[in-house]
Structure 1
Amino acid sequence: MLGIRRRPPGNARRRVPTALATSLAAVAALLLGGAASPPAAAGTVRSAPVPVRLDPAYQHAPFEGWGTALAWFANVTGGWPDAQRNRLADALYGTGGLGLTIARYNIGGGDGTATAPYMRAGAAVPGHWNPAGPQAPEEWDPDNPDHWDQDADGNQRWWLKAARARGADTFEAFSNSPPYFMTASGLVSGAVDPLDDNLRPDQYERFAAYLAGALRRVQNSTDVTFASVSPVNEPGTAYWRAGGLQEGSHWAPESQARMITALRAALDRSGLRTPVAAMDETDPNMFRANWESYGNAVRSAIGRLNTHTYGTDGRSGARDIAKGAHTPLWMSEVDLGGTVPQSFTDMSPALDLAERITDDLTQLEPRAWVLWQAVEDYENMTPAHEDSNWGLIQTDFTPADAANEPLRTNKKYWVMAQYSRFVRPGSRVIGTDDAHTLAAVRPGGQGAVVVHANASDSARTIALDLTGFRDVSAAPVQRYTTDATRDVHREADVSTTGRRLTVTLAPRSVTTLVIPGASGVDPEQATPAAGPRLLVNDHSGLALSAAPAGAGSALVQHPANPSDTAQRWTLTRSAPDDWSSTASYRVTNARSTQDLAVADGELTLLPPGPSARQHWMLSTSGDGHHTLVNSATGTLLDVTGASTSDGAPVGTYRPNTGRNQSWTFRAAPTGG
């Protein structure tokens, strides 16, 4: 996040071969800190293995890839000597590096030529307007070709072409600020009052035309096609102020809405079908608050939902908003500086990053995961400045000799590789019941990948339960480890025993297991299990019940009673072979034999039918708790008013992350 990450310290698609050792060694030879070392001592092993169950019956949408914003580092290094900038591009986008496939291009606003430089190194991303075009900035005309700098921002454009040449296939453009002459403060860093919008009220259509025009010109010059364009960035924060060290702008919710619709109209006028992404808010809770303020016309103008995760609360709300809106969701920006001083060997920042990746993918269910700046300014990270660990590679943005400036990898780089080299585009993240484990089925469904982070000071043995797969062959399981002394080091292969795999992992390490023999789904092991269930609310502890005829509400909650047929529900997949996390279910009551449905805005029971209003999507992060998202309305099964009272009505409500929208499925034997 551009704003939070700049507080002073104290305030604080291209498939990669699985044989990685040779390619990693090639990258290590180019980057400092990348040499593989002998295996570390295992440490003390726990007395009992930690059980980890993989659930291929809960598969996220196909993963689009890993990426980084370009912005500052590309604005600097895109102009470096060819050999050096290609080393960096290989490290990020090459098959021997991280194999990233997404790049986010920053459409700069640009301060006036008379404004003395005041931003941090690289942050003054050039604007696309031509300073020699109109006689006065207010005369800038987006329809006049002479008012555009056709060659603006050559350094970032170099990076777009370099990424594409190495296999990147997904590109997004984003804006942090309008050009200075459209702002209230006259600066692209924000308004004088950070809670004020900086775009002047009469400039929305002009700014939208600027973004559409820049987008078209960059596409034409680079042969890159943008999959989306995001007009606002972290709009609800108070970090953007005139004279700050980077571009930024506050946007009130109604201003966001106006800008989103203005950009959609401008793109349409330009003949561009590029989807609008929104709203790149700082965290999922703020994202949810903004979304709730948008009307239907604004929501329909959005083709992709973006959130950052600098704050982590509310991921389930953003996830269920995206499902209910049937709109793809990205985690479009985050990085972490860590809690230790600048270090290229300490595993703490890397383990923090692993935790963030795993939690984001399992709880938020994004289709892509994108870093802020994969390359950071080394000088700014030193003890004399931030003394921190932002970025995966650090290099001086103002070097005396760019051709020979060191490219320093920290442990975050190698931990990122533990994920990005193995969970490739087209993979589907699957459910697990362990907070430290990320799992995915590989593209095409043949094979699985497991990444486990052991942040403890002791070795940990995990016992993977693979019974959810239809087939598990005895093919060798590959193992790669990063810890204090190893960098994605190929360890001895391990073997499955039946449908189980037990492996011991080093302390303070991240390990990737490639299980080529796991495929398919065993329907008998799928969750939720077949048979009648009680739906028990996680807030009240009471069970969903069909109310007697004549009661004030069709659905209420009562103390759990397995013998009461009004509380028994059967969940049936609408498509038996749909194992996606957006699969729809009919939820049928045993007493009435009717389906749970939303009609005329009310929760009710209806005779079985194909309507989306009586179909529900189940969301879970693997912890045994679920939300139920109505396929027609996007609202969630919800105990009204978060009541804990016996007999309280149950309805539906927009996603709010409350426990009154969270449910546990408890077996209800037909014999009572």
Structure 2
Amino acid sequence: MSSTRTPSAPRPRHRSGARRPAVLLASTGAVAVLVVAGLTAPQATAADTSAGSLTIRLDPSYQQPAFEGWGTALAWFANVTGGWPEAQRNRLADDLYGANGLGFTIARYNIGGGDSPETTPYMRAGAAIPGYWNRPGPETPDWWDPADAGHWNPKADANQRWWLTAAKARGARTFEAFSNSAPYFMTNSGLVSGAADGSQDNLRSDQYDRFAAYLSGALQRAQDATGVKFDSVSPVNEPNTGYWRAGGGQEGSHWGPDSQARMISALRTALDAKGATTRIAAMDETNPGLFRTNWEAYAPDVRDSVGRLNTHTYGTNGRTGVRDIAKGEATPLWMSEVDLGGSVPQSFTDMSPALDLAGRISDDIRELEPRAWVLWQAVEDYENMTPAHENSNWGLIQTDFTPADAATEPLRKNKKYWAMANYSRFVRPGARVINTDDTHTLAALRPSGQGTVVVHTNTTGADQDLTLDLSGFRTVGGAPVERYTTDATRNLRRGSDLTATGKTLKATVGAGSVTTFVLPGATGVNTAATTAPTGAPRQLVNDNSGMALTAATVDGTSTPVQKTSDPADAAQRWTFTKSASADWGNTAAYRVTNVKTGKALSAAGGALAFAAPGSATRQQWIRSTTGDGHTTLINRATGELLDVTGAATHDGAPVGVYRPTTGGNQSWTFPGAAADTGKPSALRHGGKCQDAGGGSTADGAAVLQYSCDGGTNRRLKRG
């Protein structure tokens, strides 16, 4: 029987917003908002009853970089369970990192700060991570000396360190250390939970170098004790927020952007002094929008000190902006922490939390294009999740963190665990995620050309007939297609094999399900069916204004502006020339040349101009797209995006370059010569399609949601 204790307060960053009601689109303008601003209706649950057929095109001609893997932060659960009886903790390690479990390959290790031994314990179960410092005598001001071996405890944090070795023994190869707070004696409040005022920094202004010495020293001691080598270390966590207050239930600290930058520089200096090549990851902000705010405040030398970009997605605004920052900086990006409690009470059989998690995984990877996807703690405190406390569904496994008998405490897997397995067991390190034109479908090329994996989520309450369009692949072959399903009654159960017919695979997926398809014969790229904008000249139409990029003559000089679309105008037609024709990566670069002038778009000094076509990086543009036909173009030399200045909508407005903002004025479609047949645009809520009422073509006609039956009044034009 579990012990009784005071309920823990929920982590503020984990509280998701209320679910919105179904959206009824009242005008064509509402459709424009959904498409241009990138908004989606909320994800449906298995209670919805819409059904229908869906064709999904896979696009291997747009490939994300080699995937590094899936993982979890260790932190609280590892601090608890790493000290449990051998058999029990090994069961948990097998469930997360074992080949027959989730097969995680990434572990994020929490370097604890540690409160004073005189402080009465106040944190939630597991959250008081031990620090690596040692206080051998009475406390005096600034007593801690990083050069004094007696001031270190190299054997600290044995429970979490056990998890590092257990993960490594089961195949984990990527390890990152992260910090939530400096030790208590470096803080303003004297507590590792934050400052008295959550909007104020808690690290004392004279402690940056000492904290950098602490992090670099703790990193080395953790490595020496475990044999694990950390690829990266993250010095701040969700920094520019007001969450972290003295006396809260976990370690945390506010850092303003200037403070973040100072800490990053101090840590880089400390690591360099030790000859450590460990990358600095930054800044693990709570959502992509805040990440971008912080990043824009960093000076160039601070940005150069960051070897990996980390963002959380507790909020989902601005993912594509961080994606484009990462490409412009040529720096790897991780989605380094998130979890969802779901919108239903604690349950181990309800699929709703699993469908929510699958939606977050798919959306994060589609919009961020990260190298890795890492969960917040995969094991959650069961008692804290019960109806008497949070009554929620955090974690993939729930177990009591203060059990009467750890050896017999149940390890309770929920449906999120099995939905996670639909991804983590099949999309393995080295895989390359590819685009699809469906937001509920993630696809990836398996490592070493061993076929393709597709994971599809049916959020509706009825069966769905899928058609996978495989025409983008060079070959498909006749090998059996495996499928594995998680739903209300099945946990990653293998169904009967399927066979592709030509370059088409048909399947029926059940209501409220996550299904993985393994297509061993789908390999290569069909060069005649790519989405790369090469070939015939085409327009660049701005999503915000609806106007076309034009090479206009102003005072005798060719100048980039936007003008009312005229496909016959040679000044509005552009030829895309790929730098490397066989490069199908998501950072492939293109030269963009105007048909009328013969000049290429070129960025330099914060301005856009024309130049004679050449190979200079200022003429190279990286294409980013989620597969929906909308694209941003990133200049390889400057990291800036093709941008209608000031989001102007009038004819003749200048077009330039600007840092990523996620605005529609930086988003473009590329209409070509071929007829655009469109594709039904399904709303996330219920999976129904946007429908022009009565098939009307009149201005102002009502747009409703309706079953996706293939009618042209339910097909949106795409570039």
Scaled to the shorter chain, the TM-score interval is over 0.9
Give yes or no for the alignment of 1:563 onto 2:568.
Answer: yes
Say if 2:394 is the partner of 1:398.
Answer: no
1:527 and 2:527 are equivalent in the alignment? no
How far the C-alpha of 1:593 sits from its partner, in A, is: 1.3
Of 105-114 and 444-453, the range deviating more from structure 2: 444-453
* Map of 2:208 onto structure 1: 204
8 Å contact 1:545–1:566 — kept in the other structure? yes
Matching residue of 2:96 = 92
Task: Choose which of 293, 298, 305 in structure 2 pairs with 1:301.
Answer: 305
Quick one: distance in 1 between partners of 2:488 and 2:241?
37
SS of 1:406's partner is: coil
| Matched letter for residue 230 of structure 2 | F
Work out the number of aligned pairs and report it: 641
Query: What is the Cα deviation at residue 45 of structure 1?
Result: 9.1
Structure 2 equivalent of residue 488 of structure 1: 492
Say which SS state the counterpart of residue 323 (structure 2) adopts.
Answer: helix
Give 5+ residue unaligned stretches, structure 2: 1-8, 21-45, 676-719
**Normalised TM-score (structure 1):** 0.93
| Aligned residue number for residue 182 of structure 1 | 186
Equivalent position SS for 1:60: strand
What is aligned with 1:153?
Answer: 157
Q: Does 1:322 align with 2:326?
A: yes
Question: Using the alignment, how far apart are the partners of 1:334 and 1:298 within structure 2?
Answer: 26
Distance 1:152 1:6 in 2: 28
The question of 1:423 aligning with 2:417 is answered: no
How far apart are the structure 1 equivalents of 2:18 and 2:625? 36
Q: Please name the residue that 2:681 is paired with.
A: none
For 2:473, what is the secondary structure of its paired residue?
A: coil
Distance across 2 between alignment mates of 1:602 and 1:547: 16
Distance 1:402 1:445, change over 3 A: same
Separation in 2 of the partners of 1:51 and 1:483?
A: 21
Is 2:243 the counterpart of 1:239? yes
Match of 2:700 in 1: none
Task: State which drifts further: 122-131 or 137-146.
Answer: 137-146
Aligned to 2:635: 630
Cα deviation code 1:247-306 (max 9, x no counterpart): 000000000000000000010111211000000000000000000000001000000000
Partners in 1 of 2:604 and 2:13 — Cα distance?
46
Tell me if 1:588 matches 2:596: no
Query: Aligned match of 1:164 in 164, 168, 187?
Result: 168
Give me the whole-angstrom Cα distance separating, in 2, the residues matched to 1:493 and 1:400: 46
The one-letter code matched in structure 1 to 2:176 is: E
CA contact (8 A) 1:637 1:652 kept: yes
Amino acid at match of 1:178: A
**SS of equivalent to 2:420:** helix
Q: Output the CA distance in 2 between the equivalents of 1:669 and 1:370.
A: 41
Per-residue deviation, 1:8: 11
Q: Check 1:310–1:669 CA distance in 2 against 1; reply closer, same or farther (3 A cut).
A: closer
Q: Which amino acid is 2:603 matched to?
A: V
Q: Secondary structure at the match of 2:207?
A: helix
Counterpart CA distance in 2 for 1:196 and 1:601 is 34
330-339 or 564-573, which moves further after superposition? 564-573
Equivalent runs, 1:132-147 vs 2, <5 Å:
132=136, 135-136=139-140, 138-147=142-151
**Counterpart in the other structure of 1:29:** none
What is the aligned partner in structure 1 of residue 387 from structure 2? Answer: 383
Deviation track 1:313-335 (CA, whole Å, cap 9, x = no partner) reads 10000000000000000000000
Amino acid at match of 1:509: S
Query: CA separation of 1:2/1:81 partners in 2, compared to 1, >3 Å: closer, same or farther?
Result: same
Q: Which residue of 2 aligns with 1:605?
A: 610
Matches within 5 A, 1:205-284: 205-284=209-288
Aligned residue type for 2:416: K
Contact between 1:532 and 1:669, CA under 8 Å: does it hold in 2?
Answer: no
| 1:610 Cα deviation after fit | 1.1
In the TM superposition, what is the alpha-carbon distance from 1:7 to its structure 2 partner? Answer: 5.7
Quote the residue 2:446 is aligned against: 442
Higher mean C-alpha deviation, range 615-624 or range 521-530: 521-530
Distance in 2 (CA, whole Å) between partners of 1:296 and 1:604 is: 24
CA positional deviation for 1:90 = 0.2
The residue type equivalent to 1:194 in the other structure is: G
Q: Please, which of 643, 653, 656 is the counterpart of residue 661 of structure 2?
A: 656
Corresponding residue for 2:349? 345
CA deviations 1:49-70 (Å, max 9, x no partner) are 2010000000001000000000
Counterpart residue type for residue 417 of structure 2: Y
Q: Distance in 1 between matches of 2:131 and 2:138?
A: 15
Identity of aligned residues (%): 67
Sort the Cα spacing of 1:513 and 1:551 in 2 relative to 1 into closer, same or farther, 3 A.
farther
- SS of match in other structure, 2:65: coil
CA contact (8 A) 1:534 1:668 kept: no
Q: Which amino acid aligns with 1:186?
A: G
Please point out which of 654, 664, 671 is paired with 1:666. 671
Which whole-Å CA distance do the structure 2 matches of 1:293 and 1:446 have between them? Answer: 43
> For 1:312-368, what per-residue CA distance to the aligned partner results, in whole angstroms no more than 9, with x for missing partners?
010000000000000000000000000000000000000000000000000000000
Residues 61 and 472, structure 2, Cα contact 8 Å, conserved in 1: yes
**Is this contact kept in 1: 2:14–2:314, CA < 8 A?**
no
* 1:643/1:175 CA distance change after superposition, 3 Å: same
Q: Distance in 1 between matches of 2:522 and 2:233?
A: 38
Question: What residue number does 1:478 align with?
Answer: 482
Alpha-carbon distance between aligned partners in 2 of 1:610 and 1:656, rounded to the nearest angstrom: 27
Deviation at 1:549, TM superposition (A): 5.3
2:319, 2:368 within 8 Å by CA — same for their partners in 1? Answer: yes
Residues 14 and 339 in structure 2, CA contact (< 8 A), matched pair in contact too: no
For 2:253 and 2:49, locate their aligned partners in 1 and report how far apart those are by CA, in whole Å.
51
> Residue 579 of structure 1: which of 575, 584, 603 is its match?
584
> Any residues of structure 2 matched to 1:407-422 within 5 Å, and which?
407-422=411-426
Give the letter for the 1:99 counterpart: G
Give 1:136 deviation, angstroms: 2.7
TM-aligned CA distance change 1:612 to 1:351, over 3 Å: same
Q: Helix, strand or coil: the match of 2:131?
A: coil
Return the match for 2:625 from 620, 628, 645.
620
State the Cα distance separating 1:132 from its structure 2 match.
2.1
Distance 2:540 2:466 in 1: 31
With over 3 angstroms needed to count, the CA separation of the structure-2 counterparts of 1:378 and 1:175, relative to structure 1, is same
Tell me how far apart the structure 2 counterparts of residues 491 and 6 of structure 1 sit (CA, whole Å).
Answer: 35
Q: Give the corresponding residue for 2:360.
A: 356
In 1: Cα distance, 2:667 partner to 2:192 partner: 43
CA distance in 1, matches of 2:323, 2:12: 23
d(CA) in 1 for partners of 2:340 and 2:51? Answer: 30
TM-score w.r.t. the length of structure 2 is 0.87
Hey, what does 2:12 align to over in structure 1?
A: 4
**Following the alignment from structure 1 to structure 2, what is the Cα–Cα distance between the partners of residues 9 and 636?**
31
1:498-577 correspondence runs (5 A): 498-529=502-533, 530-548=535-553, 550=555, 554-577=559-582
Report the 3-state secondary structure (helix = DSSP H, G, I; strand = E; otherwise coil) of the residue aligned with 1:619. strand
Alignment check: 8 A CA contact 1:8 1:386 kept: no
1:24 matched to which residue of 2?
A: none
1:433-460 per-position Cα deviation (integer Å, ceiling 9, x unaligned): 0010000000123300000000100001
Question: Is residue 133–residue 147 contact of structure 1 (8 Å, CA) maintained in 2?
Answer: no
Name the Cα RMSD after superposition: 2.0
> For residue 303 of structure 1, what is the amino acid of its counterpart?
G
Return 5+ residue gaps in structure 1 as ranges: 13-40
Whether the 8 Å contact between 1:128 and 1:214 is mirrored in structure 2 is yes
Shift of 1:616: 0.4
Q: Deviations over 1:109-166 (max 9, x none)?
A: 0000000000000000001100326743621001111100110000010000000000
> Match for 2:73 among 36, 61, 69?
69
The structure-2 alpha-carbon separation of the partners of 1:156 and 1:481, relative to structure 1 and needing over 3 Å to count, comes to same
- 3-state secondary structure, aligned to 2:515: strand
